[in-house]
Homo-oligomer: A and B are copies of this chain.
Amino acid sequence: MTLHTAEKLVVITEKFISKNVCDIIEACGATGYTVVAAGGKGSRDVRATTERASVIDDFSNVKIEVIVNDKAMAEEIMERVVNEYFDDYPGITYLEFVEVLRPAKFHKTEL
């Protein structure tokens, strides 16, 4: 079995803008994404420590993951999400290194 290196791009933000983030992901050429409901607390909410219990049970955020075998595409998605939404909405975005089986599956131009 041959494993190939790829990047996993993660965006965690408010569910309210999840469709906008997915629009960016597809516009940049990614072929798929995974969405998980999430709660939590961001650096902007640090003062509200007394409300932590409700934060944990309030899954009003989403964690969106995209596997790409093109780091430039991953960076373009990150940059657009940050520039277009993270001034107005809380969120974080990061990359992780992964190993996949079939790299062609993750790049639209190779479908």
Residue A82 is within 8 A (CB to CB) of chain B in the complex? yes
Number of copies: 3
Interface range on chain A: under 10, 10 to 19, 20 to 34, or 35 or more?
A: 35 or more
**Separation of A18 and B54 alpha carbons in the complex (Å):** 12
Residues of B within 8 A of A59 (CB): 37
Residue A84 is within 8 A (CB to CB) of chain B in the complex? no
Residues of B within 8 A of A94 (CB): 6, 8, 67, 98-101
**Separation of A40 and B18 alpha carbons in the complex (Å):** 11
**Separation of A63 and B82 alpha carbons in the complex (Å):** 25
Residues of B within 8 A of A65 (CB): 40
Q: Can you list 22 A-B pairs with a CB-CB distance of less than 8 A? A: A1-B79, A26-B49, A31-B46, A32-B42, A32-B43, A32-B45, A32-B46, A33-B40, A33-B41, A34-B61, A35-B39, A37-B37, A43-B106, A43-B111, A46-B111, A67-B94, A78-B101, A92-B105, A93-B100, A95-B98, A95-B100, A96-B98
